Amino acid sequence: MEGLFSFLLFAVFFYVMMRFGCGAHIVHGGHGGHGQHTSGGNTDPVCGMQVAADSGYTKVHQGTLYHFCSRNCLDKFDANPQQYLGKGQSCSWTMPIKARIDMLSTGIRTPIGIKVFGKNLDEMERLAKEIEAVVRNVPGTTSAFAERITGGYYLNIEPDRAALARYGLTVGEVQDVIATTLGGENVTTTVEGLERFGVNVRYPRELRSSPDQIAREVLVPTSEGSHIPLGQLAKVSVSKGAPSIRTENALLSAYIYVDIRDRDIGSYVAEARKAVTEKVKFPPGYYATWSGQFEYMERAAAKMKIVVPITLLLIFLLLYLNFRRVTESLIVMLSVPFALVGGVWLLWLLNYNLSVAVAVGFIALAGVAAETGVVMLIYLENAWQETRARCSSEGRKPKPDDLHAAIMQGAVERVRPKMMTVAAIMAGLLPIMWGTGTGSEVMSRIAAPMIGGMISSTLLTLVVIPVLYALVKMRETE
């Protein structure tokens, strides 16, 4: 029976491990690798134009590498970086693989994300900035950034059909010239040993760094052999627009990235959501949802509401099959919460937040505490049955003193097995909790509740269960 009991508990433990990822959400967003710089993209943060990676004008600001189209833009950025950051760019500090997984699953690459939905980009950006300002003041916030979904720059080239007809050109011919001179065209491939490189040809940067230069320097050949400046055939201008447009659930969306530290996600989101509700007014048709790792936590919490009751029901069922009586089963079940007290205290001392990994540790602790309680109860029951048999042979009914002596005898016999059990479990779990290798942050949170619980479970098994057993069996004495 004890073997079946242990097997079923292990099955439940293994199911939770595989189903919920064992606390993959307890680790806050980390920092990138030391000595490396993240890329701010190939968009000039000052003028908003696309920049080649080999432009030569670069600047590292707060660990992020930015590219600039000219020395003038670089000098402007140096004078006031904060004025130009945030135009279509957003920086977050996380680990590469973790960021990729988060992006694929929720689209949010920080522990907490806020999605604003609506129909107008300008109004959504206003709401996102208000939420960003409110969330920054919530205790535990290390960074909050709302994506700027407006303010991007676009180079517009509108062909003048009358001018094109005058020179005998078509719109397609002009577009081919624009694609080659500005975007570049692969003309050949160079072979260097085993390596092959495409050769791309386009105008040098000094001939295409501004709309005026593009209109003046880009020449369109005609069938007569002449070359006409693009400005005489089309209108070249720069206009503002959305850097990117996201849609979700048939609505436009804007993201706010939030990183936290020294707080658990659940309590932080509850406080931040309350602050946003009180201070940000949403027009009709606009609303916000919370995503990121918080979304994982909500799903895991919903599943744990099913797994935990099923686990407790299985424990009670196995106890009943073992004792065949409800009373003894309830004695062990009522003792399980006392065993969990030690796990809660150790979590508080270690400053661990509640997570799926911690919940898995408590599930395992409940099983171990119930199992040791069963052994103690069996020892007490055997000692009491021997005492009753002796009293029956003496021709008298058992007295309270007889019950007390039987309980003392049974509890004393249980001290050494209990201490051996606790010593073996703690010897196996302490190295896991003190480990510093890969995965130790998850495993330590599984081990901590069990270590603290085994300490309180020892006192429980040796003190509380005998007392409860005495109260229940007192009616069988004179």
Q: How far from the centroid of its chain's Cα atoms is residue 338's Cα? A: 32
Task: Tell me the angle at which helices 356-393 and 400-434 cross, rounded to the nearest 10 degrees.
Answer: 160
Beta-carbon count within 10 A of 121 CB:
15
- Whether the pLDDT of residue 145 is over 80: the answer is yes
Task: Map residue 31 onto helix, strand or coil.
Answer: coil
Query: Which is higher by pLDDT, 334 or 175?
Result: 175
Please, which residues have CB within 8 angstroms of residue 419's CB and are 6 or more apart in sequence?
458
Asked which of 83-97, 131-145, 230-244, 286-300 is least confident by mean pLDDT, the reply is 83-97
Please, which residues have CB within 8 angstroms of residue 374's CB and are 6 or more apart in sequence?
2, 5, 319, 322, 332
192-251 tens-digit pLDDT: 888 898 898 888 888 888 888 899 899 999 988 889 999 999 999 988 888 878 888 888
CB 39 within 8 A of CB 64: yes
Q: What share of the chain is helix, strand, coil (3-state, %, to 5)?
A: 55, 15, 25
58-86 tens-digit pLDDT: 665 544 667 777 777 777 776 666 566 65
* Cα 48 from Cα 125, distance rounded (Å): 18
CB 115 within 8 A of CB 127: no
The percent of residues above 70 in pLDDT, for the chain, comes to 81
Task: Map residue 85 onto helix, strand or coil.
Answer: coil
The percent of residues above 90 in pLDDT, for the chain, comes to 13
DSSP per-residue letters across 184-234: -EEEEEEEETTEEEEEEE---GGGSSSHHHHHHH-EEE-TTS-EEEGGGTE
375-388 tens-digit pLDDT: 788 888 888 888 88
Query: Which is higher by pLDDT, 156 or 387?
Result: 156
Query: Which is higher by pLDDT, 204 or 264?
Result: 204
User: Residue 186: its pLDDT value, please?
Assistant: 87
User: Residue 160: its pLDDT value, please?
Assistant: 92
Q: Which residue has the tokens 């007490």?
A: 380
Region 170-197 average pLDDT = 89
Region 426-434 average pLDDT = 82
Please, which residues have CB within 8 angstroms of residue 91's CB and are 6 or more apart in sequence?
38, 40, 62, 64, 145
* Cα 104 from Cα 112, distance rounded (Å): 15
User: Residue 84: its pLDDT value, please?
Assistant: 65
Q: Which residue has the tokens 């205790």?
A: 139
How is residue 437 written in tokens?
Answer: 């290798």
The residue length of the chain stands at: 478
Helices (H), ranges, 80-186: 81-84, 96-105, 121-136, 161-167, 171-178
DSSP state of 147: -
- Whether the pLDDT of residue 9 is over 50: the answer is no
- Of the candidates 22, 75, 15, 19, the one whose C-alpha atom is nearest the C-alpha of residue 45 is 75
292-313 tens-digit pLDDT: 877 777 887 788 788 888 888 8
Q: Domain 325-476 is classified in which CATH homologous superfamily?
A: Multidrug efflux transporter AcrB transmembrane domain (1.20.1640.10)
How is residue 433 written in tokens?
Answer: 């909790």
Phi and psi, residue 198, nearest 5°: -80, 140
- Whether the pLDDT of residue 260 is over 70: the answer is yes
Please say whether the dihedral angle defined by the alpha carbons of residues 348, 351, 352 and 354, taken in this order, is positive or negative: positive
- Whether the pLDDT of residue 452 is over 50: the answer is yes
Region 443-468 average pLDDT = 82
Query: Which is higher by pLDDT, 203 or 9?
Result: 203
- Identity of residue 204: P
- Whether the pLDDT of residue 343 is over 90: the answer is no
* Cα 388 from Cα 406, distance rounded (Å): 9
* Cα 404 from Cα 470, distance rounded (Å): 8
349-379 tens-digit pLDDT: 888 877 778 888 888 888 888 877 887 888 8
State the pairing for strand pair 185-192/152-159. unpaired
DSSP state of 460: I
Residues spanned by CATH 1.20.1640.10 within the chain?
325-476
Out of 1-10, 104-113, 288-297, the most confident range is 288-297
The mean pLDDT value of the chain amounts to 78
320-330 tens-digit pLDDT: 887 788 887 88
User: Residue 471: its pLDDT value, please?
Assistant: 82
CATH 3.30.2090.10 is the classification of domain 153-241: yes
160-175 tens-digit pLDDT: 999 999 999 999 999 9
Q: Which residues, listed in sequence order, are joined to residue 237 by a DSSP beta bridge?
A: 156
Residues spanned by CATH 3.30.2090.10 within the chain?
153-241
How is residue 273 written in tokens?
Answer: 């959501």
User: Residue 131: its pLDDT value, please?
Assistant: 93
Region 392-418 average pLDDT = 79
Please, which residues have CB within 8 angstroms of residue 435's CB and are 6 or more apart in sequence?
443, 444
| Residues 101, 104, 109, 111, Cα dihedral to 10° | -70
CA atoms within 13 A on the CB side of 298: 10
